[in-house]
Chains A and B, each alone.
Chain A
Amino acid sequence: MKYTKDIEKLEFFSNEARKDIIKMIYKAKSGHPGGSLSCIDILVCLYHSVMDITLDDNLKRKDKFILSKGHAAPAYYAILSQMGFIPRKDLVTLRKYNSYLEGHPSNKIFGVDVSSGSLGQGVSIANGMAMAKKLSKDDGYVYVLVGDGEIEEGQVWEAFMTTSKYNLNNMILIIDKNNLQIDGSVEQVKNIKVIDEKLNAFGFNVINANGHDFKDLSIAFKEAKMSTKPSCIIAHTIKGKGISFMENMVSWHGKSLNDEEYEKAMKELGGAI
């Protein structure tokens, strides 16, 4: 399954993951559905068809992934479970006392390299990893996923300058541009305006893609991997994607579903309750 380019299969995995996300958050009685649903298609595309996660001679995975927007933990856990890193039965322990599936990812989880949750820190780490790969003449890639609200953090821009300085074209930045953050729309809260022009100015090869279209995403990743400059894929997404009453709703950034909402959501995904 690892290298499948079969869009239907990716769509199937993505729908399965959405069901897991909803179930996890419902069982946990808290969590972040909106941003998990906006980025799950990106994760499915990465893990099922883009990244090479086989182990190299030093037992390290060739390609690396960092979830900088750590609150999308349910999405991360769902994909790690599909890839065999997290036993499926553990998913429902999300956020529970004594579970290793913390509210935000920690590197105690097999397959997670670094803990995240406090925003803005992932790009710097990805740069360091990409630099280490260059030093070791290792041809793998480092992928890092950040939110569009997250780039309000100053450290992200410190990191962008480092990416550019060392021309880390083996570091692929993905921005989950779902346009919403806790206090409202990204435009209202900070008005970061034109992301692509800013990133262009910072030395990135900017690629726009529909973050829910596997064909579009696959082409974007292919282009990013071939670039001699560091690439940034701006993935245009919908917060809460896949659940009608959650889509584009700020209120679904960080809350769980009641019984009725859970039933409705699962029905929309064609899943058993």
Chain B
Amino acid sequence: MKSTRKAFGEFLVEKAAKDENIVVVDADLSTATCTTDFARLFPNRHFDVGIAEQDLVGFSAGLALSGKTVFATTFAMFLAGRAYEQIRNTVAYSNININLCATHTGLAVGEDGASHQCIEDIALMNTIPNMKIFCPADDISTKQILNECLKISGPKYIRLGRNSLRDVYSMETNFKLGCSNIFGNGTDGTIFAIGSTLNIALDAKSELKKHGIDVRVVDLYSIKPVDKDTIIESAMQTDKLVSIEDHNIISGIGSIISNVLTEYYPKKLYKLGVNDRFGKSGSIDKLYKMYNITKEDIMKIFLNNK
């Protein structure tokens, strides 16, 4: 069990010891973005611009333009939201090589409530040309994806979370831009998930098995570009399609999958996620329940319409 933000912090420390080109830029949230170890061990390579996210993006862009390997990090709400235009015009338009690591995504922020729960970052980042989007789902996938990011030039948005997630992956799994990971080969249905909902999808898969329903789960960790082939294949080979995400269902992964289906293999997709509402304070479990982002909600789709 580990949060992806924690894994991000560990990755930075591990990599920075070997690569002195790596720098980290924070905006007064380093405790929450898990960069304090990095800051302590590499004080000359850690910058804190204070509560100033627009400046965070610009400053990071300047470092990146000068050849530094930059990890800019703060809460998704303030990175994708507040500094959207800086990301669009300074970073992406100039195709600057930078890693935008957004923590505290979705309702999973929990008690801080709606103002801090970014349920629109995928939508915002997906519309920006040159941008690539990743969403890891556990400790290992975070580190592997960040490693992959070091090999990809241009702007990258990495969607990290606050809450601890169960380990899903082993070191042998590969994570590549434009790819996904498939769990199982059931043909009764496909559950598409990202980040914090992968655990939920896998739980639903095991539970459905008990009811004689064999589904596969697809982790769409590369949100942009998305793995079209796997989406089309899943639609062709399996019965029911469900997507589940901690994001607004408007322009989240459900929409992204729908776009692919409409173009290549029209088929119904059941979308689970935040249904165009703001979040609220509460524990993650309670919130996921209220917003229908649970194993039970997936089960219902498969069992009720059997």
Contact = CB atoms under 8 A, between A and B. Distances in A.
Interface of A: 58, 60, 106-107, 113-115, 117-118, 120-133, 135-136, 142, 154-155, 158-159, 161-162, 165-166
18 contacts: A60-B66, A107-B95, A114-B90, A118-B85, A118-B90, A124-B54, A124-B61, A124-B62, A124-B90, A128-B61, A128-B62, A128-B65, A129-B63, A131-B47, A132-B62, A132-B63, A159-B58, A161-B50
Nearest to A138: B66
Contacts of B62: 124-132, 142
Given A113-B65, A118-B89, A155-B86, A124 B47 contact: no
B44 A107 contact: no
Interface string B175-191: 00000000000000000
A155 B89 contact: no
Given A132-B68, A154-B54, A159-B58, A121 B90 contact: yes
Interface residues of B, number: 29
B219 to A, nearest CB: 34
B103 interface: no
Contact of A128 (B44, B54, B64, B85): B64
B49 interface: yes
B291 interface: no
A4 to B, nearest CB: 28
Contacts of B61: 114, 124-125, 128
Is chain B's interface secondary structure helix, strand, loop, or mixed overall? Answer: helix
A123 B58 CA distance: 8
Interface of B: 23, 44-45, 47, 49-50, 52, 54-55, 57-68, 85-86, 89-90, 93-96
A139 to B, nearest CB: 14
B55 A158 contact: yes
Interchain residue pairs A-B with the least CB separation, the first 5: A128-B62, A124-B58, A132-B66, A158-B52, A158-B55
Contacts of B90: 114-115, 118, 121, 124-125
Given A127-B59, A128-B64, 8 more contacts: A120-B54, A129-B65, A133-B66, A135-B68, A142-B62, A158-B49, A158-B54, A159-B58
Contacts of B45: 135
B130 to A, nearest CB: 11
Nearest to B27: A158
B65 to A, nearest CB: 6
Contact of B54 (A58, A113, A155): A155
Contacts of B93: 106, 115
Contacts of B68: 132, 135
B58 A129 contact: no
Contacts of A122: 58
A161 B86 CA distance: 18
A118 B57 CA distance: 14
A131 B61 CA distance: 11
